[in-house]
Amino acid sequence: MESLELIGIVSIVTAGFTIAIGSLGPALGQGRAVSQALNSIAQQPDEANTITRTLFVGLAMIESTAIYCFVVTMILIFANPFWNYLIG
């Protein structure tokens, strides 16, 4: 197997693992955050605006982890620096 093919295979497999594992954690975190927010709103309906605002900020922070994993995956697939190193 040629080394360029090996780098391509390893990059695609690594990208798959990155997006799979990188989206599993944030999905579980978002589910738990929404569950706890709904529980808090059910217990204190007067504070619903504050809880909702804080929930959205927290969800944005959690989602940024999945976006970083997506960016790494796109770099590995389309702009892999190892290919340029091997070809050059």
pLDDT of 82 reads 75
For residue 30, pLDDT over 70 is answered with yes
Report if pTM > 0.85. Answer: no
Domain boundary assignment for the chain: 31-80
> Per-residue DSSP letters for the chain?
--HHHHHHHHHHHHHHHHHHHHHHHHHHHHHHHHHHHHHHHHH-GGGHHHHHHHHHHHHHHHHHHHHHHHHHHHHHHHS-HHHHHHH-
pLDDT average, residue stretch 52-70? 93
Q: Which CATH superfamily does the domain covering 31-80 fall into? A: F1F0 ATP synthase subunit C (1.20.20.10)
Give pLDDT tens digits for 4-27.
788 888 888 999 999 999 999 999
pLDDT average, residue stretch 37-52? 95
